[in-house]
Structure 1
Amino acid sequence: MLNFATRLALSPLLLAQGLSVRANAVRLPEAAGPRTGRLGSGPKLSLLILGDSSAAGVGVDHQNDALAGQLAVLLANHFTLDWQLVAKTGATTRTALQWLETHPPAPIDIVVTALGVNDVTHAVPYPLWLRQQNRMFARINTLFAPRRVYVSGVPPLGDFPILPQPLRWSLGTQARRFDAGLARLTEMSARLSHIPFNSPLVPSQMAQDGFHPGPEIYTLWAKEMASRILSDWPLDLET
């Protein structure tokens, strides 16, 4: 309640700071390169990455250096991998749901999601966001029947260099709340795995806009995701 009351009292300043950040922020493009492909050898594995600008690779020039490209290469060392990326700058959980509502059913082994930052910055109410995430997971299960969904944690917006105080504190507090709720939500299903952002956020590792990941962060993210997938996959084959 104290955080809510404080944010309410600061709301005129927070709004002004948010508008200023949006007006002055460096606009970086999504990473170039293919968003679907097949590579590797061995047992077949299919992968869908669904998300926002971070999933789209904003902050690096090419998908080879972004999450999708690096994760695909790591998994291709063990599988014949069919992968696809569906991501867009500005995407929220609601817009991801809209895409899923029009997608035809198709079997996919693994789904990776990366959503939440835009929900926080757009002030989506926390209970509504959790309901949307729950609906999204249900829709993913209906469409793709994946063996596992890996849910990327909400990044620590309180550490983003571009954000001034007290906006940084406000968004950081809400991001932590969203991520904690996401972790609890994923505990409700054995097919959902929450992958928190555990590495210290070093400003020099971020993109020049001070908001998106740089190459090093994408590498850490891909390695952590690949490690979780590879450790889980033999268990999944037995179920």
Structure 2
Amino acid sequence: MLLNILIIVTFPILLVQGLLVRKKTLKLPEPTGKRVGCCQCASNVPNKVHLKGDAHSGVPVSCQKMKAPLALLIAGDSAAAGVGVSTQEQALSGWLINSLSENFCVNWELKAKTGVNSTDLLSMLQRAKPNLDPTYYANSTSLSTITSTHSFDTPLQCRSFDVAVISIGVNDVTGFTSWRRWRSNVTQIIEILKARYQCRLVVFTALPPMHEFPALPQPLRWVLGQRAKYLNTALLKLVNKYHGVNVLTLTLNPIGNDQSDNTLKYMAEDGFHPQVAGYQLWSNAVVKLVNEELDELVGKNSNVG
């Protein structure tokens, strides 16, 4: 309530500062590269993770001896899209696929776009029709076609996902999405991922510390920082109601560097997005969580798959 009053009182200042930031901030493009890919050893196999494969798991013996298939969705805003680096290999998707491929055959899709907020992401998931053909990825011609046309607005190709990594919220902060709308959107995002796409694990990334963003002047920086904290609090309360849903909170100070060093090392030149080292740090945290949580989920359910 107090924050809302302060926003109303300072709105003229915030409006001017917001317009100036938008005008002056360097607008970085989304990186080039693939936004969908498949694992050849998992061809003709329903994309379900089998961490403890056996003769009855549905996974070929040859694949069991190699790596279990893992279906991965990366979705959300410009950070999920990789803004701040030149190619997807340097972005979150590239680091994730490279790291997860050490233990899994990864079928993956990236559904992210600059400017997307929680309402946009929910709408995409609601209108997308999951592909019901478990042999879809075996068709190399189809894969070539969807690779060239894949975007945030095209239908999802996987029939289901084992893991969904979600980056959302910054545009809800800057667009002043209400607390009630945010809660409703996040709840529906979780439920549609669980029900329609059968996600075993959903990983939300907590909103970044916007009160530390170097590109934002005061008092705009403080106001947006407080709003980010409120949305993070709501997000944490929501995920506690669900099994297999987590919030990943990143720290950009893993080795004790001061804030100026962190900004140079992890932030892109626009002062808003990660650069290569930032995406690698983010990916490492996600991979650690995925490995821990999937092991736990499998341990609790001997019938996985």
TM-score scaled to structure 2, two decimals? Answer: 0.76
Contact 1:37 1:84 (8 Å CA) reproduced: yes
Contact 1:26 1:209 (8 Å CA) reproduced: yes
Counterpart residue number, 2:263:
203
Contact 1:59 1:208 (8 Å CA) reproduced: yes
Counterpart residue number, 1:18:
18
Q: How does 1:111-150 map to 2 (within 5 A)?
A: 111-150=164-203
Q: State the shift of 1:7 in Å.
A: 2.2
Contact 2:250 2:285 (8 Å CA) reproduced: no
Deviations for 1:212-237, whole angstroms, at most 9, x for unmatched residues? 11111111100000000011112222
Deviations for 1:27-86, whole angstroms, at most 9, x for unmatched residues? 100011111113485011110011100000000001111101101111000011111100
- Give unpaired runs (5+ residues) of structure 2: 42-65, 131-158, 254-258
Contact 1:149 1:192 (8 Å CA) reproduced: yes
Match among 80, 83, 89 for residue 64 of structure 1: 89
CA distance in 2, matches of 1:216, 1:160: 17
Report the AA paired with residue 112 of structure 2.
A
Q: CA RMSD in A?
A: 1.3
CA distance in 1, matches of 2:2, 2:293: 40
Q: State the shift of 1:5 in Å.
A: 2.2
DSSP 3-state at the match of 2:67: coil
Identity across matched positions, percent: 34
Q: How does 1:167-206 map to 2 (within 5 A)?
A: 167-200=220-253, 202-204=262-264, 205-206=266-267
CA distance in 2, matches of 1:160, 1:140: 31
Contact 2:161 2:197 (8 Å CA) reproduced: yes
Q: State the shift of 1:139 in Å.
A: 1.4
Number of residue pairs matched by the alignment:
239
DSSP 3-state at the match of 2:74: strand
CA distance in 1, matches of 2:179, 2:207: 13
DSSP 3-state at the match of 2:246: strand
DSSP 3-state at the match of 1:144: coil
Q: State the shift of 1:6 in Å.
A: 2.1
Report the AA paired with residue 220 of structure 2.
L
Q: How does 1:1-239 map to 2 (within 5 A)?
A: 1-39=1-39, 41-105=66-130, 106-200=159-253, 202-204=262-264, 205-238=266-299, 239=301
Report the AA paired with residue 93 of structure 1.
S
- Give unpaired runs (5+ residues) of structure 1: none
CA distance in 2, matches of 1:211, 1:234: 34
Q: State the shift of 1:125 in Å.
A: 0.8
Contact 1:156 1:197 (8 Å CA) reproduced: no
| Ranges of 4+ aligned residues in structure 1 off by more than 3 Å | none
Q: Which moved more, 1:57-66 or 1:198-207?
A: 198-207
Counterpart residue number, 2:48:
none
